[in-house]
Amino acid sequence: MTEPVHTACPYCGVGCGVVVQPDETIKADPLHPSNRGRLCSKGAALAATLDDSTRLTVPTVFGREADWDDALRLVADRFRETIAAHGPDSVAFYVSGQCLTEDYYVANKLMKGFIGSANIDTNSRLCMASSVAGHVRAFGEDVVPGVYEDWDEADLVVLVGSNTAWCHPVLHQRLQAARSAHGTKVVVLDPRRTATAETADLHIPLAPGSDVALFNGLLSYLYRTGKVDAAWIDRHASGFADALEAASAVTVEDRLCLAGEFALGQRPVGSPSLVAKGRSPAGMETTIETVAAECGVDPEVLETFFDMFAKTERVMTVYSQGVNQSSSGTDKVNAIVNCHLATGRIGRPGAGPFSVTGQPNAMGGREVGGLANQLAAHMRFGDAADRAALRAFWKAPALAETPGLKAVELFDAVLDGRIKAIWIVATNPAASMPRAGRVREALAACPFVVVSDCWPTDTSALAHVVLPAAGWGEKDGTVTNSERRISRQRAFRRPPGQARPDWRQFAEVGRLMGWADAFAWQTPAAVFREHAALSGHANDGRRVFDISAMADVDEAGYAAMQPFRWPLPAGSSSEGGRLFAKGGFPTSDGRARFVPTPYRPLPRTGLLLNTGRIRDQWHTMTRTGLSPALMSHTPEPMLAMHPADAAAAGIVQGALTRLTTAEGNVLLRAELRHTQRHGEVFAPMHWTDLFASTGPVGRVVSAAVDPISGQPDLKATAATAEPVTVYFHGLLLRRTGGALSDICHWVRVPVTEGQMYRLAGLRPLPVGGELTRFASALLDLPAGTEWLEVSDKRRGVLRVAAVSDGALEACLFLAADASGLPNEAALIPMLGAPVPDATRTKLLAGRMYDATAAEGPKVCACFGVTRDAVRHAVATHHLASVQQIGVLLRAGTNCGSCIPELEEIVRDVRMPAG
Ligand SMILES: Nc1nc2c(c(=O)[nH]1)N[C@H]1C(S)=C(S)[C@@H](COP(=O)(O)OP(=O)(O)OC[C@H]3O[C@@H](n4cnc5c(=O)[nH]c(N)nc54)[C@H](O)[C@@H]3O)O[C@H]1N2
Ligand SMILES: Nc1nc2c(c(=O)[nH]1)N[C@H]1C(S)=C(S)[C@@H](COP(=O)(O)OP(=O)(O)OC[C@H]3O[C@@H](n4cnc5c(=O)[nH]c(N)nc54)[C@H](O)[C@@H]3O)O[C@H]1N2
Ligand code: SF4
Ligand SMILES: [Mo]
């Protein structure tokens, strides 16, 4: 590489452009319309993930290295044999919103067009399925009406179940800039007081799962206060009366009562006239108080929000996993959309519902029909004309006629033997699926499991065939972000070893299965051209998704392609913009649909486990877990609990805590926080078997799904928590990585020169020779390494330092209580460094406990500034702003991801006690 390469960040759906310099330093792209020069902590640390040392580089078949031809021939043969013996529905693909559009297109074509089954589903089922279903119900097609400029132009932004400060940081920064420029108001609806809520004008800590009640209440309020735009509804939508009726029944009792008043047949129908004539359906009054009680919030706060929404024309409602990942996720989406349709606030500058996408290509995957219930190019299973058009376009011998199994059902079908061969690509379901233990059982029982990934994972550990995939920076293709903007990802380095792009793997298997012509592409540009042509095929304005203007793009054009927003039909020269302000919905009559969303409260017993993300980790940590800087923000899997719940369970700050659900249990460190509601705990989704002994929290998350979208509710599992007896505490540093055996509880933290493991003994420390064996298993030293030991059995203390070629190779400290362990921050730099005798003695004498070196979690990952250092500086220098912190400590001056936390510290430190 001699010239800078413009590409897109591989993490979240904001879709930021980055520029990679010839020396592989990575900076924000100042010209990319999605980020205009901004980046977050994860984007800023991308270079650290380019280390090849732990990558998968060679295909393996039944644990042995194989060449690509043999591996792919085996895959093709086993799929063909399974289909011949048991039919096309006996095989499946499980793919990912982290596939590029070209990868995704080829996988979907192979399964739905040629194998003849729709058993291809994707991790987008866990992520976007409720938004997809909600969009289809309301608009007729899965379309996000708004654009990023709306974030600049809105006067009110309502963030529902969306921790944008951590999960869509660059959009969050854009919103903060808009607030400074013209005072945009921000309201956050989230049961937790998140970093996002900290920065908002109003935070409504609603009860989990109560969003439908809240937005139903809002619809009813808009109606009562005369804010409904009857003229717009009359022209562009239908079903208002039914939606209003359902919205007006807040509780079960109210619903029963309403059912009596609106006997079937007597319902007010033809919504617009109902509103136009000003008829108020009797008995349908919902009060602020009833809604507030249902949502567990202060009625005054709720009214403030309803009033703000009612009065503000430029209002945008942004939502993500607090909405989608819910057993009422699709209704949550439609309850939100109903309020925007009712006011005609859609597709106008600064106004509309806005589903932010999670993964870099969540949107692209939906364009190619990656979900089991979709066809390619937004065509539908339920439409015979669409099926005929697709069959003809692909010359498909066996186009699937009906939807396939959705993720949770799909893995159930693997477990019960209906599915006998599965190919998993760019996703780690053994960690990220709910009931992950059951998914592991399913994969262990499955006769043939293929996994394509860049790194070893909990899932690849269960595969018969592991295919090394070319990753970010090593492959070419396109991704689509939250605002329908298609950007190029460009290769700037060679894949390590024999790693190959996913689309090539699928295309080769398609050819080997006998469909040489249909899978003959030689370049990703050729795949993209076919995808673009299909989007315009038999379309004539029936489907909004149309990028047929790109159907003839040549290799040079594809190489130079600039980011553009769809729709971009053949003949159009300007990119897509806001949609639906003047109607024109892709339904049979061009009208949007109001959808009645009767409220279904969550069943509640004990604690409710909410799971989600932390600022600096990405999902199952295969990439972000490589960066010590990103690890420093939250180095250990934790369980956030309200102090009162903790006290009731006898759990103290920092206690190792067992969280138990119907699915099993995991061990997490308790973090007592007033930001949690009573009765609700939160755990991050990120840790896996490779990072902690109890593995992913997904093992204990239930798999209740939304009845319409099939998306699992990952935010509400009934749970109990209890403290765990810890017999000893330990700290291990070593050069080698990997999982430890299960002799104690451990959490692995990558550090600059190796790995650090925090240990907790769940059984008493062994004695005598057993103790030596125990220590040696942990140290994992090459034979013959010198090893010095100091032990004080009476105090239950063991200290070991192993030196190789004069440098510290490993060290282990065990103590009866945590205060007997050395300071981590002082120890970490010693790993791999030369250790003079004096230091060794000091180490073993235990004189490494210097409290002044105490570090603690880092708030600014870019400059390694700890939370304590910021608190100290704010207090002693009387700092009043984030800017002042930046001047003194540099924190917050690079990517800006920590700004919400810095603001929180300023507020916290400067707030008078009480
Ligand atoms: N740092 C980081 N950023 C990421 C990712 C990552 O792994 N790490 N992943 C990306 C992906 S794929 C996705 S999908 C997005 C997800 O982005 P977000 O949706 O913002 O992230 P989550 O933490 O999953 O959940 C959001 C919030 O929903 C709240 N919530 C839970 N239950 C309810 C409820 O009943 N009602 C409401 N209103 N809120 C509720 C939770 O408390 C949580 O704060 O992030 C993307 N960005
Ligand atoms: N409890 C709980 N569980 C959740 C969630 C939650 O909030 N709570 N959120 C859900 C959501 S929204 C999502 S999106 C999922 C994410 O869950 P996963 O998709 O399982 O998580 P990732 O770690 O992103 O997995 C992506 C995998 O693809 C690999 N990879 C990266 N690039 C490539 C490539 O180009 N080719 C190939 N073949 N492999 C590649 C990575 O190494 C990694 O192993 O998790 C879901 N699970
Ligand atoms: S906000 Fe951060 S993670 Fe998301 S695309 Fe931009 S740089 Fe990447
Ligand atoms: Mo996601």
Which distant-in-sequence residues (6+ apart) come within 8 Å of 420 by Cβ?
Answer: 82, 86, 90, 91, 446, 447, 448
DSSP category for residue 610:
E
- Nearest residue (by CA) to ligand 1, atom 3, is 167
Report CA-CA distances (Å) from 739 to 492, 688, 693, 760.
Answer: 32, 10, 8, 15
**Mutation test of ligand 3: which of 46, 148, 163, 170 has the most ligand atoms closer than 8 Å to its C-beta?**
170
pLDDT of residue 149: 98
Is the CA virtual torsion 217, 220, 225, 226 positive or negative?
positive
pLDDT classification of 766: cutoffs 50, 70, 90: confident
**pLDDT tens digits along 270-297:** 333 333 333 344 444 579 999 999 999 9
Distance 102 CA to ligand 1 centre (A): 27
**pLDDT tens digits along 204-234:** 999 999 999 999 999 999 999 999 999 999 9
Query: Residue 192: CB within 6 Å of ligand 1?
Result: yes
Distance 620 CA to ligand 2 centre (A): 6
**pLDDT tens digits along 486-498:** 999 999 999 999 9
pTM exceeds 0.85 for this model = yes
Give the Cα separation of 423 and 400 in Å (integer).
18
Tell me the DSSP string of 358-406: SSTTHHHHHHTT-STT--GGG--TT-HHHHHHHHHHHT-SS---S----
Average pLDDT over residues 186-196: 97
Residue 825 has pLDDT above 90, yes or no: no
Neighbour count for residue 716 (Cβ, 10 Å):
23
**pLDDT tens digits along 333-368:** 999 999 999 999 999 999 999 999 999 999 999 999
Distance 162 CA to ligand 3 centre (A): 15
- The burial of 839, by beta-carbon neighbours within 10 Å (0-12 exposed, 13-18 middle, 19 or more buried), is given as middle
pLDDT of residue 656: 96
Percent of the chain with pLDDT over 70: 94
Distance 30 CA to ligand 3 centre (A): 14
Ligand 2: atom nearest CA of 613 is 7
Give the Cα separation of 422 and 107 in Å (integer).
12
Of the listed ranges 421-430, 580-589, 629-638, 689-698, the one predicted with least confidence: 629-638
pLDDT of residue 877: 79
Give the Cα separation of 240 and 515 in Å (integer).
49
pLDDT of residue 853: 45
pLDDT of residue 272: 36
- Nearest residue (by CA) to ligand 1, atom 2, is 167
Query: Residue 357: CB within 6 Å of ligand 2?
Result: no
Average pLDDT, the chain: 92
User: Between the CA atoms of 610, 616, 621 and 626, what dihedral angle is there, to the nearest 10 degrees?
Assistant: -160
Give the Cα separation of 164 and 187 in Å (integer).
12
φ, ψ for residue 410, nearest 5 deg: -65, -45
pLDDT of residue 795: 67
Residue 559 has pLDDT above 50, yes or no: yes
Residue 701 has pLDDT above 60, yes or no: yes
DSSP category for residue 206:
P
